[in-house]
Structure 1
Amino acid sequence: MTLRTNVAFPPPLPAGKQPDPRTARRTFIRVLVWAIPGVVIALAVMAGYALAYPERMPEAVGELVEDLTGANPHPVHLVRPDTAPLSSVALLGRELFNDPSLSASGKQSCASCHSAQHAYGPPDDLSVQLGGPHMTDAGYRPPPSLTYLYRQAPFSIGPDAGDADVVVNLDQAAAAAQGVQRAVKTAGAAPAAPAMVPQGGLFWDGRADSLQRQAIGPLLNPVEMANRDVNEVVQKLSTGKYRDTFSKLFGPAIFDHPDLLASEAMFAIGRYQVEDPSFHEFSSKYDYWLEGRAHLTQAELRGLRLFNDKDKANCAGCHVSQVSRDGLPPLFTDQQYEALGAPRNKALPVNKDPKFYDMGVCGPFRHDIATQTQYCGMFLTPTLRNAAERHVFFHNGVYHDLKQVMNFYNLRNTSPEKIYPRDASGKVMKYDDIPAKYVANIDVADAPFDRKAGDQPAMTDAEMDDIIAFMKTLDDGYKAQ
């Protein structure tokens, strides 16, 4: 079929035919007769609304503009991190980050599990990555994204623990909070009181307090880069291609102090993550919408409102979507910890042992507050930026797409039989990845988890699709108009 592309609009009249002015006039009058009442009614409604709710009028007008155009009626200025050429230390860190020779197998680098092409997260949909001396050992948890960590606070418990000048005993802080009811997290409100739950830190359990300390973890993990100890890492740094660089940056005496050499190498990796803008681009469609430089579709707008609706999805209760008071873009995390009760991932080799449970903050990989069992089953709330780029979700990698994640939130309490397996007798094994004695730690207060079995789910399928459409606007790399 050939499409005509040169058709004039409106099409020309046949030769000899001229428009009848009387017919045109009558048509115009009819349009006015039909249109004017509608305009009058709309103006009357707006006037009545303004008289009844004057404080809501600006917001209502903004929502009307937003609905009609998809534009943000209240654009803001976002304060992004400064950009500059990478320092010599950061350039060294970039080389170390991408060097597989630092692993026991010679095949795995930091970038292997934190791919720049996948928002510094895993490059595939495996629940956990393979590593070890022969690249055959399965990990325990999926690697979280390394993006947007430049503002991550150190791990703490209590409102004063973020003060770098205050030395806090975590056991004492946790004990002081024990028995105090946790604050309900509500979208649109300030983050819940941090005294009730842990906050900050790196890894799923927050056991590292800096990018420097985080970097050494995979190098020594037996199922990841699998070096036997720090000395083996130092040996590779001392005899490899980095020797001249380390000498120039830190002086030749650095090789007389192996621990210091390792520390400076990890510091370099941390500096790379802080200085390179690819780790915190803030170049998503949502960022540009906030600034008035992009328009959201109707589905994305509906998803944004559901995301922020405290009675529906309530996503923003933990994944904060508001710009900070000083103009910093939202990170889409409150940096706190939650026990969600995700179903057990039977595909993980470590879970073949029925007695093994990953308890997050209280073990098995961190031990300093293992006795504070009120935190068992809690894991760090990750950023949702670039979440649509991921193919593995939650601390055990049990889900592999956003619709599965949304179904979990929507149905965990209302229809648990659709989320959890059944035992031999047919009973639903709700919360099957946490020992029964810690089930009380699981969040049942925050929407949408505040519903009970048989209740109407918080969201319809169409609403969940809209939320996913909005979440896709959080992916970096959008080209603003």
Structure 2
Amino acid sequence: MTIASKSLSVALSAALALVAFFAAAGPETVPQTPEALGERLFFDTNLSAKRTQACASCHNPDYGFADPRGMASPGDDGVSLGDRNAPTASYAALIPAFHRGADGAWVGGQFLDGRAATLEDQAGGPPLNPIEMGMPDKAAVVARLREDPVYVAAFPALYGAGVLEDAEAGYAAMTRAIAAFERTEDFAPFDSRYDRWLRGEADLTQQEELGRLLFFSQQFTNCAECHKLAKTEMDTAETFTDHSYHNIGTPENRALRAMNGVPLGTVDGGLLDNPAVDDPAQRGKFRTPTLRNVAVTPPYMHNGVFGDLRTVILFYNTYNTKAEARKINPETGAPFGPPPVPDTVSLDKLEIGPALDDQRIDALVAFLKTLTDARYEHLLEDQ
């Protein structure tokens, strides 16, 4: 067979495959809404360099839209490992755009340092990150979109003729579709047992009620100072974060850095790494995460240093206890490590109230478990 005839044969086979695809699939398989298109994109591994990773790889819908695979997510190349824990995408659509609040403090934004101002901006980040999905540029991503006949049909119908012929326009349309999917109720159902309790459809145990009272207390804990958005504690749309930025002194994750090769002692600048921020006083601060689904989305903290929710509460308790035995990390058997950026630790938020005994710590953990969406409650059974 000559090269020309071989090329013709390959082209004919591809054309026949395309015809067969549409014949078998039918027009109903082409997404008719941005949300449906975004869902398909969210699970599409072809948008990564080696075609192994999708948004859902690090934001697994079966695990609270977080990554259960470890302290940090592996990259599409199978080698790269980041230095931060992938935050849950649950309720991310409710995070306000990155801005300064009335008091001048930074609020909102996507990613742990707010560097993506909006959900659309966030959706455009991972495909081009060399240690995540690893695509070289927007044009390469849009070229992958043009390979798929479903996208070739859906994008022009939803975003205008020729949208996939322009890299910037095509990429922007992709991020808009993914963001539209992330704004659906699947990501923010507000149907946890806590929500059902608010509606009078479920009861809390004595332990959970104690945890709730402690959580919202300003005398015994200060949890709600940063993990409450609404003015009242009975708000049915509470996201359990005010989207503010703080340095809580989270210790270095030495185990992660032994795996990813980041030199020990390297300081993650947090909010100061955001290109929009030029203030050394913001170094080491990270956005306060939602506590919804927190019990089923380990590991914890921006660097995944803690694997158990109870350890997180014990860590917070170190700011209020003088007993050295209560300053031991049960996961390592050694004292909790020092804060990487001691000068900006939010001590005014952390040093409050008496030290908590085990009964109260367990009660707080029990309450936090009630914030688990119904679709993930089965995951609590394994704890």
Give your verdict on TM over 0.5.
yes
Paired residue for 2:45, among 79, 82, 100?
100
- Structure showing the higher helix proportion among its residues: 2
> Which ranges in structure 1 are unaligned for 5 or more consecutive residues?
1-85, 160-193, 422-427, 452-456
The TM-score with structure 2 as length reference comes to 0.82
Query: Which amino acid counterpart does residue 129 of structure 1 have in structure 2?
Result: S
Q: Is the 8 A contact 1:285 1:478 kept in 2?
A: no
Paired residue for 1:57?
none
How much has 1:323 moved relative to structure 2?
Answer: 6.6
1:312 is the counterpart of 2:185: no
Q: Which residue of 1 aligns with 2:79?
A: 136
Q: Secondary structure at the match of 2:93?
A: coil
Deviation at 1:469, TM superposition (A): 0.6
1:338–1:379 CA contact under 8 A, matched in 2: yes
- Residues 246/479 of structure 1: CA separation in 2 closer, same or farther (3 Å cut): closer
CA distance in 1, matches of 2:181, 2:234: 25
Matched residue type, 1:307:
F
RMSD after superposition: 2.5
User: Match for 1:223: what amino acid?
Assistant: I
2:154 to 231, 245, 254: 245
* Residues 274-317 of structure 1: CA deviation (Å, up to 9, x unaligned): 1x211010001111111111111100111111111112222111
Q: SS at the partner of 1:347?
A: helix
Query: Residues 95 and 129 (structure 1 numbering): CA distance in 2 closer, same or farther, change over 3 Å?
Result: same
Which of 124, 136, 154 is the matching residue for 1:228?
136
**Partners of 2:106 and 2:68 in 1: CA distance:** 30
Equivalent residue number for residue 188 of structure 2 = 280
* Structure 1 residues 397-448: Cα deviation after superposition (integer angstroms, max 9, x where no partner): 0001111101100014535966589xxxxxx8963423xxxx221011124x
Task: Give the letter aligned to residue 225 of structure 1.
Answer: M
1:339 shift after superposition: 0.5
* C-alpha distance after superposition, 1:89-118 (max 9, x if no partner): 111110000011111121110001101111
1:467 and 2:364 are equivalent in the alignment: yes
Cα distance per residue 1:111-136 (max 9 Å; x no partner)? 01101111111133x11011142x22
Q: Paired residue for 1:476?
A: 373
- AA aligned opposite 2:97: P
2:313 counterpart (361, 381, 406): 406
Whether 1:443 and 2:353 are equivalent positions in the alignment is no
**Partner AA of 1:337 in structure 2:** Y
Could you tell me whether the CA contact under 8 Å between 1:324 and 1:330 is conserved in 2? Answer: no
> SS state of the match for residue 195, structure 2?
helix
SS at match of 1:150: helix
Structure 1 or 2, whichever has the larger Rg, is 1
Q: Pairwise mapping of residues 179-328 of structure 1 onto structure 2 (< 5 A)?
A: 194-195=103-104, 197-241=105-149, 242-274=151-183, 276-320=184-228, 322=230, 328=236
2:255 is paired with a residue of what secondary structure?
coil
Specify the SS of the correspondent of 1:225: coil
Q: Deviations over 1:144-171 (max 9, x none)?
A: 1111123211111232xxxxxxxxxxxx
**Superposition map of 1:327-342 within 5 A:** 328-342=236-250
Separation (CA, whole Å) in 2 of partners of 1:432 and 1:268? 39
8 Å Cα contact 1:416-1:430 kept in structure 2: no
Q: How does 1:6-85 map to 2 (within 5 A)?
A: none
Take 2:232 and 2:86, find their aligned partners in 1: how far apart are those partners? 28
Cα 1:324–1:213 change in 2 (3 A) is farther
Deviations 1:313-346 (A, max 9, x none): 2211111175769965111001101100111101
The amino acid of 1:131's aligned partner reads G
Runs (5+) with no aligned partner, structure 2: 1-30, 330-334, 378-383
1:361 has 2:271 as partner: yes
For the residues of structure 1 that align with 2:233 and 2:366, how far apart are their CA atoms?
27
Match of 1:389 among 296, 302, 307: 296
Looking at structure 2, the residues matched to 87 and 325 of structure 1 have their Cα atoms a distance apart, in angstroms, of 40
Per-residue deviation, 1:251: 3.2
Counterparts in 2 of 1:395 and 1:429: CA distance versus 1, 3 Å? closer
Match of 1:79 in 2: none
Equivalent residue number for residue 151 of structure 1: 94
2:66–2:86 CA contact under 8 A, matched in 1? yes
Aligned-residue sequence identity (percent) comes to: 33
Separation in 1 of the partners of 2:322 and 2:32? 53
Q: Would you say the 8 A contact 2:47–2:54 is kept in 1?
A: yes
Query: How far 1:381 moved relative to its partner?
Result: 0.4
**Paired residue type of 2:147:** T
> SS where residue 391 of structure 1 aligns?
coil
Give the number of equivalent residue pairs: 338
Residue 343 (1) aligns with residue 288 (2): no
SS at match of 1:252: coil
CA distance in 1 between counterparts of 2:371 and 2:247 reads: 24
CA distance in structure 2 between the partners assigned to 1:309 and 1:444 by the alignment: 18
Kindly provide the CA deviation profile for residues 174-206 of structure 1, in whole angstroms up to 9, marking residues without a partner as x: xxxxxxxxxxxxxxxxxxxx42x3111111001
Write the distance in 2 (CA, Å) between the matches of 1:143 and 1:342.
16
Deviation at 1:479, TM superposition (A): 11
Residues 216-261 of structure 1, C-alpha deviation per residue, up to 9 Å, x if partnerless? Answer: 1111111111111112111111222311211222333213321001
Change (3 A) 1:358 1:250: same
1:116 maps to 61
Partner secondary structure for residue 124 of structure 2: helix
Cα gap change, 1:158 to 1:201, in 2 (>3 Å): same
